Chains A and B, each alone.
Chain A
Amino acid sequence: MTGYLLRRLAFLVVSLVLASIVLFVLLRMLPGDPANALTSVGASPEQIAAARHSIGSDRPLLEQFTHWTGQLATGDLGTSFVSSLPVGPEVVQRLSVTLPLTLSAFVLAVLIAVPAGFVAAYKRRTWYGALLSGVSQLGIAVPVFWLGMVLIVVFALNAGWLPSGGFPQDGWSDPAQAIRSLVLPVVTIALVMSASLIRYVRSATLDVLDSDFLRTSRALGSSFGQAMWRHGLRNASVPVISILGIELASTLLGAVVVESVFALPGLGSLLATGIAQHDYPVIQGVLFVSTLAVLLIGFAADLVQRIIDPRLRNRLSGGAR
């Protein structure tokens, strides 16, 4: 296990180094000029040059890269070109919205999808099993922003139970207010996420239901419930956990749409603003932190799978999930 952990750690570090290089180079290949956000229409060539100089985008690329990675090594994500505020604290502040948002949505989606997916598989020949499958198929086709808008109209504009968007300026100092702001966005993400999860859970359960080991277990006298509990669930959960990891990672960045609909100051909207303004330190900071999060989620999913399924423990895992 120690060897495995070391391998995983090495993989993590190499991935981060590669990601930071790719990130840096790709950003600078994009058309546009980070000095644009700082100058106004009517700017003279001197003003444009001064803007470039003030943010250091006129320095050689290698120098810019070593400067950034040097800061990274000390845990400093640099300073925004546009606002002159340090990126690190800003990312942390945005995470205080995005993490509770995505994690709650994720937990809620799992709570909906696992039982629903199981029922959809086990009761696939009943009308409600078929209905569950049908609804989840429909749910996959629903755009996130549309669902968000519908929820706003119903629960915020018409019923007036919840805010239509925004997040308290004082953040979590009044937890009740903060939670109220997150209810609708959490439900929006959770519903869309659970729709696709239901299908994975359903097909994983179906595989198990038709498996030899379950039939053997039943033949040896277990009740269906016992057999499912001892063998079925464990086997079904392995592929589902892979999917969960991918879903969680994609939600972390996919939250940008929901953040826009609900006017939430989260990581996604910070990234969107950063991209619009070519604010390299902000984009690099957000994507670097996100990359780290995605790698860690992948690692966690891998670890959980190994704990559940002993067959995986002997597999040489070079890191692929």
Chain B
Amino acid sequence: MNLPKKPLSAGVLTVALAVTLAACGGSGDNNSNGGSGSYDKNATVNIGSLYEPQNLDNTAGGGQGVTEALNGNVYEGLFKLTDDGKVDNLLAKDYKVSGDGLTYTFTLRDGVKFHSGKALTSKDVKYSLEKVIAPDSQSARKTNLEVIKAVDTPDAKTVKVTLKQKSISFVYNLSYVWIINDQAKNLKTTEDGTGPYKLGKWTRGSALGLDRFPGYWGTAATNKQVVFHYYKDATALNNALLTNAVDVVTSEQSPDALDQFKSNQSYKVNDGNSTTKLLLAFNDKAKPFTDVKVRKAVSSAIDDKKLLESVWGGYGKEIGSMVPPTDPWYEDLTKVNAYDPAEARKLLKEAGYAKGFSFTLDTPNYDPHPTAATFIKSQLAKVGITVKINTITPDEWYTKVYKNHDFSATLQEHVNDRDVVWYGNPDFYWGYDNKQVVKWVEDAEKASSTQQQTDILKKVNRKTAEDAASDWLYLYPQIVVANSKLSGYPLNGLNSQFFAYDIKKG
């Protein structure tokens, strides 16, 4: 809905006549310095989000919301994944790797204090690493870090980690491990981290506040307080931005609302890079999708570009594999199994399905899945394939598809970066089982250099694309909309992070 703007309540810029911008996305520049040089050092920044933390512990099922609110803001790791996808030292001042790649020695930064006042020592790091790989840990990185054999603390400033085997992603994976005070209790409802903010007031279902921590070891946050406001509904979230109840929205999930911000000088629409892919995932272990020709046929029968246009209207990117452009092993594979209905019919005939076939598509009940399912149904009908859409809740999806592998094909968004390696796990829900790929993924992890790792994973990328292991429909855009008075907010929000400490409010 595009509304004529009138000046809102006091303190709001009077809106000039709406200037209709050409319908291009945000300028792809990688910083959001839209604000002027002067800013309020003691501002409260209000952030609007759809992802409330389930609890405050990322090793106990806190979910996407806890990463968004606390990662880098309240808790810090030894390393940090920056907004442009680099791994930087954070609580680790530096580190050394032994010649055989099995021993990592980390030196901790000086002068780091927890919010409770205790100084950081190597014991806290040991505790935090062991918490992630504990039997009851729900950390998404647990399997990656189970390569750890032992954690030793020769002195208060040194942590020595011994691995069972080489793991080139080890340092990258450490950017997900929060360093927590080893004395802390009740981490699902309280916190004790080293970040630039302390947890303020958390009102479940409504808002979570973070207050600038005066004892922070690094550069103090450029605002005094951050409040994440949580909404269940995108319209309510956008209304909050329009009425200045929030200053920035962490990610827009639908293009419908963007016009009202694009045509308004008071807001900036930023088009960043996301790592979220929409997948049509086949069950590669169930007929007819055991046959590579059938998978290729389905992939060729769907016009991804048209789907992206209908869902996102000019935002987002086409993608030919599981690897987004921000991953080191990206190459453009959109030409592989590109849209070609004639080719699809030919492949179906070769596979013995000249008359087509029918299958059930398990479709999560939230956007964009139902829209995509309807589109796919109409596209596949043109090559003689009948799609029965079965709408399910996320919870049902998790049980039926993810755990029980009881499905023919499904739609699902995959959020994380560097997740092409799932194709090296034959037990993963989509059941892609290729011994060569399994070996490549193992070899890549044992590589001696990132260059070697990249070269091997490029092969995995290409092989899975050629095999149409899944059909990668498109890459989501990452759209952050903010009040023009705001600058310094993250644009890409990799893995749902949202660093708030550089945000300046003019």
Tell me the minimal C-beta distance from A204 to chain B in angstroms. 38
Most B-side CB within 10 Å, residue of A31, A39, A152, A160: A160
Whether B136 pairs with A50 at a CB distance below 8 angstroms is: yes
Quote the shortest CB–CB distance from A83 to chain B (angstroms): 5
- For A265, the chain B residues whose CB sits under 8 A away are 203-206
Cross-chain contact of A169 among B4, B203, B422 (Cβ < 8 A)? B203
| B161-169, B226-234, B290-298, B433-441 - the one binding chain A | B226-234
| A243 interface residue per 8 A CB criterion | no
User: How many B residues, CB 8 Å from partner?
Assistant: 53
A19 touches B (CB below 8 Å): no
Interface residues of B in 392-440 (CB under 8 A from A): 393-396, 398-399, 402-403, 414, 422
Question: Does A156 contact B138, Cβ atoms closer than 8 Å?
Answer: no
Q: Are B229 and A40 in contact (CB under 8 A)?
A: no
Q: Please determine whether B204 and A83 come into contact, CB atoms closer than 8 angstroms.
A: yes
Interface residues on A, range: 35 or more
A261 with B236: CB separation less than 8 A: yes
Query: Is A153 in the interface zone, CB < 8 Å from B?
Result: yes
| Contact, CB under 8 Å: A82 / B245 | no
Within 8 A of B (CB), among A151-182: 152-153, 156-160, 163-167, 169-171
A115: CB under 8 A from chain B? no
Q: A156 contacts B204, CB within 8 Å?
A: no
Q: How far does the alpha carbon of A47 sit from the alpha carbon of B137 in the complex, in Å?
A: 7
Judge if B243 is at the interface, Cβ distance under 8 Å. yes
A53 to B138, CA, bound (A): 12
Interface assignment of A270: CB less than 8 Å from any CB of chain B: yes
For B232, the chain A residues whose CB sits under 8 A away are 260, 263, 269, 272
Min C-beta distance of A265 to chain B, whole Å: 4
User: What are the residues of chain A within 8 A of B4 when measuring CB–CB?
Assistant: 158
- Which of B205, B207, B393 sits near A32, CB closer than 8 Å? B393
Q: B239 an interface residue at 8 Å Cβ cutoff?
A: yes
Q: Which of A37, A54, A156, A164 contacts B54 (CB 8 A)?
A: A37
Does the CB pair A90–B204 fall under 8 Å? yes
In the bound complex, residues from chain A placing their C-beta under 8 Å from that of B229 are 166, 263
At the interface, yes or no: A101 with Cβ under 8 Å from chain B?
Answer: no
Nearest residue in A to B57 (C-beta to C-beta)?
A: A84
- Interface 1/0 per residue, B30-55 and A, CB below 8 Å: 00000000000000000000000011
C-alpha gap A273/B236 in the complex (Å): 17
Quick one: CB contact mask for A30-72 with B, threshold 8 Å, 1 for yes? 0111001111111110111011011000000000000000000
A268 to chain B, nearest CB (A): 10
Instruction: Name, among A41, A48, A94, the residue most crowded by chain B CB atoms within 10 Å (CB to CB).
Output: A41
Q: A39-B61, A157-B243, A163-B245 are in contact. Are A48 and B403 (CB under 8 A)?
A: yes
**With an 8 A cutoff between CB atoms, is A23 at the interface?**
no
* Chain A residue at smallest Cβ distance from B54: A82
Whether A169 and B227, one on each chain, are in contact in the complex, defined by CB atoms closer than 8 angstroms, is yes
C-alpha gap A169/B143 in the complex (Å):
38
Which residues B197-255 have CB closer than 8 A to chain A?
201, 203-207, 209, 227, 229-233, 235-237, 239-240, 242-243, 245
Chain B hits for A40, CB < 8 A = 61, 63, 138, 140
What's the nearest-Cβ distance from chain B to residue A261, in Å?
A: 7
- A278 at the B interface (CB under 8 A): yes
Residues 256-270 of chain A, each 1 if its beta carbon lies under 8 Å from chain B, else 0: 000011110100011
Q: Which residues of B contact A164 (CB under 8 A)?
A: 236, 239-240, 242-243, 245
Does A277 count as interface, using CB distance less than 8 angstroms? yes
Q: Is the CB of B240 within 8 A of A263?
A: yes
Listed by A's residue number, 27 A-B pairs whose Cβ atoms lie within 8 Å are A31-B396, A31-B399, A32-B393, A32-B396, A36-B395, A36-B398, A37-B54, A40-B140, A41-B402, A42-B140, A42-B422, A50-B135, A83-B189, A93-B203, A149-B235, A157-B3, A160-B9, A163-B243, A165-B236, A167-B206, A169-B206, A260-B233, A261-B235, A269-B232, A270-B205, A272-B232, A277-B395
Seen from chain B, the residues whose Cβ lies within 8 Å of a Cβ on chain A are 1, 3-4, 6-9, 54-55, 60-61, 63, 135-138, 140, 142-143, 186, 188-189, 201, 203-207, 209, 227, 229-233, 235-237, 239-240, 242-243, 245, 393-396, 398-399, 402-403, 414, 422
5 nearest A-B pairs in the assembled complex, by CB-CB distance: A38-B61, A265-B205, A164-B239, A160-B8, A265-B206
Given A40-B63, A83-B54, A269-B232, output 17 extra A-B contacts at Cβ < 8 Å.
A37-B61, A37-B395, A38-B60, A41-B140, A43-B140, A47-B138, A50-B136, A51-B61, A53-B136, A54-B136, A82-B54, A82-B55, A84-B188, A156-B239, A158-B6, A163-B243, A171-B203
Binding site for B on A (CB under 8 A): 31-33, 36-44, 46-48, 50-51, 53-54, 82-85, 90, 93-94, 149, 152-153, 156-160, 163-167, 169-171, 260-263, 265, 269-270, 272-273, 276-278
